[in-house]
Amino acid sequence: MRIKIPENQVVFEQLKADIESQFPQYTFNVKTKNFLVARKNGSTGANILLKKSKIIVNGTFPTMGGTLLFVLCIFLFGFLIPLIVYLIVFQKNQKVLEGEIGAFIQQKYGLKM
């Protein structure tokens, strides 16, 4: 989900504080100065990236281990079987988390997609 913002309107520290206060049930890790990872559980998370003119929220695996395990499954079982498992089991929960965080950001800052 891409949320357009006026250039340099949102400060990363304020965005991080607002999201953490709104979602205390999730854990948050800062990866770089503008990159935040929200974690609901071991397989459900969202990456939040602040750029100059947009905020990008993507549902994904919250850990590098989960991502590497998924890639390993693709190499071991081919592309189709892990893709079907991902779409059935993991994608729905990741998109729900992405939607929750994205909707909060839009509501908090009065922004449009």
Arithmetic mean of pLDDT, 98-102? 94
Cβ-proximal residues to 17 (8 Å cutoff; 6+ apart), any chain? none
| pLDDT, tens only, 20-75 | 999 999 999 999 999 999 999 989 999 999 998 899 999 999 999 999 999 999 99
pLDDT value at position 53?
87
Q: Which residue, 59, 8, 60, is CA-closest to 34?
A: 8
DSSP label at residue 34: T
Supply the pTM of this predicted model: 0.87
pLDDT value at position 61?
94
CA 75 to CA 70: how far, in whole Å?
9
- Tell me which of 110 and 107 has the higher pLDDT: 107
The token pair that represents 59 in the structure block = 């549902």
